[in-house]
Structure 1
Amino acid sequence: MKSGEYRRLAGAGVPVPRWAVIAPDTALDPDDWGPYVVEKPNYGALGAHVRIKRTGRVKYKPPEQLDNAHYGRRGGMLVQEFIYTGEWPQSFRVTTLLGTVILCYHQTTVGRGNPLSGRWNHGKDAGPSIVSNTKEMKVTLTQDRDIISLCEDAHRSAFPDIPLLGFDVIRDADSGKLYILECHAHGPTWPFSSDTARSIQEKNGIDFVSQFNALKTCANILAEATPRLATRRMPFQSVEANWT
């Protein structure tokens, strides 16, 4: 679940937006959290049920009372600090193999609702969507060194026991600060040959493999790591496993 990822990341000193599990006694102060926050499932995917909410209206709801299709039924709900990424929602997807980036792209979705003209203008701008990962998103390859370094360091420090990660990174439009939203530690999709990956590349006229000569890079990473990891009895664990 996302809460397990956040604990690992924060424990390793990796920047993540402030967050909390929504519990029966949750009562958020807008003066502390800001007037709006993000509410999202602890166990979720594809941006489902991720929405902006007025901070003072965040309330606990038992998972069994959520709609059957709601991902929150599986692990409850989280509240997260809202990070403003610009007029339209945008983020970066970074795939790492054993701590080395093999794919890095920028994604943005335009046209779902109105543009968000300022950090706290959700009411004025009629509640635009904050999800960048949509079927309409525009994708461009990028080799932003700050983002690449952040994800490589996060993988090696927080998740050395998980071989493949898919990081979602956002940049605050005002401060420029980077945050990791999640890393899909429970199993990201191989980013080069899935139906989703093929569709993204075709729609945007890009080639994921060409960016870092990915297949050769992966082969080199695995050739180096295989004999080293073969000496370990259990080289990989789940995100919820005990770790040091």
Structure 2
Amino acid sequence: MKRSNVKENYLKAIFSLNGSEEYVSNKLIAESLNISAPSVTDMIGRLVDEKLVESIPYKGVRLTKTGLESAIRVVSKHRITELFLLEVLKYDITQVHKDAETIEHLDSEYFFKKLEELLDYPKFCPHGSIIPTLDNYQEVYRTPLTEYEEGDTLVFRRCIDKPELLDYLQQINLHLNQTIKLTKIDSTNRIFIFSYQDDETGYFSFDMAQLVFFEKA
């Protein structure tokens, strides 16, 4: 993969983890991208040198103004492409992310404007995230499962489009806008247990629970 593409993938991940407003840990970036922590540390150093992110030791990184603008461009292209693949080409939802990862790096503003026009200027991607612009880039749903308490009844609104997570959601048949009840938080084993669809029981690891976003029902 070209280095510029790798850089864009990092900016996209930081943006998706609310890195436009708060500091995001290297660990969470590594979890989102499914890569090793040392690799993240190395790339973050390069992004700092290019003034795309600012970093505070033991706290994490946050996008600079320049980094935010770059992130918005690639995130918007990625999410519009995902929607096109799903709605027009009838991709399976678990497959859209992989091909969108390739298409998003196409350097053609005209192409993506035509996609946006074809889709009637959509506001959200298939995973519940907004399709950002320079004037409107804050996510609507920003509260991960880790912020809720046992007994809360929640509506599933958004997830980070990590392939392993998307596969798991399809496997357990949990989709956006479904309601769950957070029945137990197992702090010892770092597992979130929830019920849904009347009698189904689901589980999220702590790391995965940071990548799924809900609102109270």
Instruction: Tell me the TM-score normalised to structure 1 length.
Output: 0.23
Structure of higher CA gyration radius? 1
Q: Which has the higher helix share?
A: 2
User: Larger relative CO (CA 8 A, sep 6+): 1 or 2?
Assistant: 1
Instruction: Tell me the TM-score normalised to structure 2 length.
Output: 0.25
